[in-house]
Structure 1
Amino acid sequence: MSGTPHLAIDAMGGDTGPETTVAGVAHALRHDPALAFTLFGDEAILAPLVARHKAFAGRVGIAHAPEVVSGEEKPSAALRRAKKTSMGLAIAAVKDGKADAAVSAGNTGALMATAKVALRTIKGIDRPALAALLPTLGTHDLVMLDLGANTECDARNLFEFAIMGAAYSRIVHDIAEPKVRLLNIGTEEMKGTDVVRDAAALIRSAPHLPLQFDGFIEANALGRGEADVIVSDGFSGNIALKTAEGTATFIGDLIRRAFTSSLRSKFGFLLSRPAITLLRQGLDPNTRNGAVFLGLTGTVVKSHGSASAVGFANAIAVAAKLARARITDRIAEDLAQTRSANVDTAA
């Protein structure tokens, strides 16, 4: 992988469409001029938007896609139209080797289904998982997976998620052996379902892996910085993520209400503005935008549908970093070590 990743952009996806995605590409290119892009979407809409940016010359191209995947569309319907949609064609560019990664703010279920069918999973991976960065009080964010791609998982799936999450953490945090923990209803070894306990046993049986397994963690400790990677099935992981996001919004609303309740509180807001600004930045989902489908033979990054241009640019930065670091190769190498060590991953 060279230092100049070529990224395929689903320019029509998301709540606000091409205005935001093109602006996001412009923002990303200002921060990383080595990037190159192909925007997939309606050329009649994209061409005027692209023409506004002189810096796009020689760095950004347009590939016409006549159709768009809607936010409410079923994955099966999106799959049938994949050869005509901006989402499907962006992923096909990764499959065909024309792009190093794809980024979309479109329908999550459709994106997952299209990516899985087009790219397939890495040898040794049963199911891909959706991973993202969550804020903590520690020195860096944590990697959490799965966040909704698989509602039901067996022990082997969770074991594979641990391998993939650790590889992701090594890239984004530059940690030789990330600390991995399994989400559970308690930290004691006897707590949780058979699946979670069996997954823990599998991870412990693979000391050759470049990670430190540190047992279980409860949801109320997600933000304490006690782990680099937290592994869960997609059902529990999605609930934990949505709860964290809802709590962040709730805190922001409480603060806003408190500082507008009286003249005295408004004056207090003026004095506290620097601290409030830091808090708002820490809670803003745009700052950590960009979830990745790990376990596929190509890199696909999911942006929040409501992300701002800066948020979409952050998702692009995630895709570029993973492409440069060859995330799929790293996962494949760790899996090969597991096979060499004869670790029994049978569910």
Structure 2
Amino acid sequence: MTATIAIALDAMGGDHGPAVVIEGAECARERYPDLRFRLYGQEGPIRAALARAPRVAAEAEIVPVEGVVLGTDRPSAALRRARSTSMGCAIEAVKAGEVAAAVSAGNTGALMAMAKVALRTIPAIDRPALVALMPTMRSDSVVLDLGANTECDANNLVQFAVMGAAFARSVLGLDRPTVALLNIGEEDMKGTTELKLAASLLREAGIDLPLDFLGFVEGNGIGKGEVDVIVTDGFSGNIALKTAEGTANLVTGLLARAFRASLRTRLGYLLSRPALRALKDQLDPNHHNGAVFLGLNGVVVKSHGAANVKGFANAVCVARDLVAGRILDRIAEDMAKFRAHLPQGSPGREAAA
């Protein structure tokens, strides 16, 4: 019999509250029948939503919590009342080992603050990174950090590379994902001191890790899908993410304008509609929903606040894949391999200790 995976859901998080959270959980359970849920939030709205989700209703446990973290709450204020909120209680359940992961569509800053304080980081990881999937011409790529750390040293970037590769193995099913550092050029002499040192460290130890380090990748290589894992600091990563989202909106907007220009282009739209629907689905943020605070001593997944049912279901499935893929063990094992492989006296060995 397949072991079940219990996931805590912040039922009150996001723009749509329990309705989308629970219907999303229902959709995720169709894909993964081994999922079980613990629902944190206000009991009345949760039970009303469960009436439309029989699979979840049959297995879920409701934990009544009246407090809600609003999107306008400051992270520091939300942190002070964490244990009286649905978001904070869901994270505490992960810390206590009562569930394998937590998923919330609530306030990103508050979720990050609560998760960092409650769970701390895995040994050998200095800072957690925000990681997510981005669509490319080839397939989905893993990108981190997307905003958790605006400034990073070489050691942080190396840790992000190891964690990103472990994420790709768990979620994308890749045995040896390709990894590169985001840079202004592919040549070894380009980039900051931190980037050059991180590349040197990864080349020294990469042979013993379950990844293939390819060096540097430029911004235009992200959309091409040149590598499986793109590593950068949170400042550059967040700009890259927002630029990609803006470009997707630009492309779809220009296409819509072009197809409305004349009768001929409207007829062209009718002929092109199947291809355009496929493009829209590929660029839909809900298709790639589910960012992870990677490096914490527990699995916490952030769903976009405006996610629809499909989007929230994808976030739940990401959490499930990370648990089933033993993401925490993989990161710890790979960091141990990294430190052990560096030669005695190497500057990288001291930095990675």
Residue deviations 1:234-264, cap 9 Å, x none?
0000000000011001111111111122222
| 3-state secondary structure, aligned to 1:205 | helix
| 3-state secondary structure, aligned to 2:351 | coil
| 3-state secondary structure, aligned to 1:267 | helix
**Structure 1 counterpart of 2:277:** 277
Task: Name the amino acid aligned to 1:218.
Answer: E
Residue deviations 1:124-149, cap 9 Å, x none?
000000111111112x2111100001
**Structure 1 counterpart of 2:70:** 70
The ranges of structure 1 where at least 4 consecutive aligned residues each deviate by more than 6 angstroms after the TM superposition are none
**Structure 2 counterpart of 1:346:** 351
Matching of residues 12-27 of structure 1 within 5 Å: 12-27=12-27
Matched, 1:291 2:291: yes
Matching of residues 1-347 of structure 1 within 5 Å: 3-138=3-138, 140-206=139-205, 207-342=207-342, 344-346=349-351
| 3-state secondary structure, aligned to 2:239 | helix
CA contact (8 A) 2:298 2:328 kept: yes
Residue deviations 1:136-193, cap 9 Å, x none?
112x211110000111111100000000001111122322221110001111111111
CA contact (8 A) 1:3 1:324 kept: no
Give the superposed CA RMSD: 1.3
CA contact (8 A) 2:171 2:325 kept: no
Task: Name the amino acid aligned to 2:327.
Answer: I
CA contact (8 A) 1:39 1:62 kept: yes
The 1-side partners of 2:56 and 2:141 are apart by 34
Task: Name the amino acid aligned to 1:253.
Answer: G
Higher mean displacement: 12-21 or 306-315: 12-21
Higher mean displacement: 337-346 or 268-277: 337-346
The 1-side partners of 2:86 and 2:17 are apart by 11
CA contact (8 A) 1:156 1:345 kept: no
The 1-side partners of 2:173 and 2:16 are apart by 34
Higher mean displacement: 226-235 or 10-19: 10-19
The 2-side partners of 1:121 and 1:74 are apart by 22
Residue deviations 1:260-279, cap 9 Å, x none?
22222221111100110111
TM-score for the superposition, normalised by structure 2: 0.95
| 3-state secondary structure, aligned to 2:220 | helix
CA contact (8 A) 2:22 2:56 kept: no
The 2-side partners of 1:191 and 1:287 are apart by 35
TM-aligned CA deviation for residue 345 of structure 1: 5.0
TM-score for the superposition, normalised by structure 1: 0.96
Q: How many residue pairs were aligned?
A: 345
| 3-state secondary structure, aligned to 1:344 | helix
TM-aligned CA deviation for residue 33 of structure 1: 2.0
Residue deviations 1:277-326, cap 9 Å, x none?
11101110111111111111110111111110110001101001111111
TM-aligned CA deviation for residue 339 of structure 1: 3.0
1:345 to 1:12, Cα distance in 2 relative to 1, 3 A: farther
1:43 to 1:345, Cα distance in 2 relative to 1, 3 A: farther
The 1-side partners of 2:274 and 2:120 are apart by 47
The 1-side partners of 2:159 and 2:56 are apart by 40
The 1-side partners of 2:321 and 2:235 are apart by 28
